[in-house]
Amino acid sequence: MTEKEKAAAGLLYNANYDKELIADRIASQKKCKAYNAIDNEDTEKRREAIKNIVAQIGEGGYIEQPFYCDYGYNIKIGKNFYSNYNLVILDCALVTIGDNVFIGPDCGIYTAGHPINAQQRNEGLEYAYGITIGSNVWIGGGVRIMPGVTIGDNCVIGAGSVVTKDIPSGVIAVGNPCRVLREIDERDIITQQ
């Protein structure tokens, strides 16, 4: 089993010496560097460039610069996606993002983790657990989403939260660690006065 196959299976793997993974990361870094250098006003060129980085991005998807990812080919994004500045996705495993997701500035989505055991960690071993973000989700600025987390549909994740556990659909969740504050309901509808 290759190191890439181990990563995809959620097993411990070593990305530091595997030629295929190193080459994939370097290719992604080059693509991200080129994307981040595109003039802000050239939205069409940016749209085309991001399609060459991530595996999938739906219609109306837009990622502000700068954007960084490990591989890109493990990122699948639905339609009408928007990310503000400085999104980092460590996509050592699959990252699936639904439709109508909005992400604030300076957020991180991290599928990669390292063993608690120092000997294993010092050997360069790591693991990768996929992350799923449902549709109609708003993620506030400075949020960090940890390996293996699923965020349900119709959620709001408060700014600065560190999401370490699954979040059910239809809730506001905040904090470090992120916890459900309450369900979203009629009181959250803003009416014009």
Q: What is the rounded distance in angstroms from the CA atom of residue 184 to the CA atom of residue 165?
A: 19
Q: Per the residue annotation, which of 25, 114, 144, 179 is the catalytic one?
A: 114
- Determine contact, residues 145/125, Cβ cutoff 8 Å: no
114 is catalytic: yes
Range list of β-strands (E), the chain: 13-14, 56-57, 62-63, 67-69, 75-77, 82-83, 87-90, 95-97, 102-103, 108-110, 112-113, 125-128, 131-133, 138-139, 144-145, 150-151, 156-157, 162-163, 171-174, 179-183
Active site residues: 114
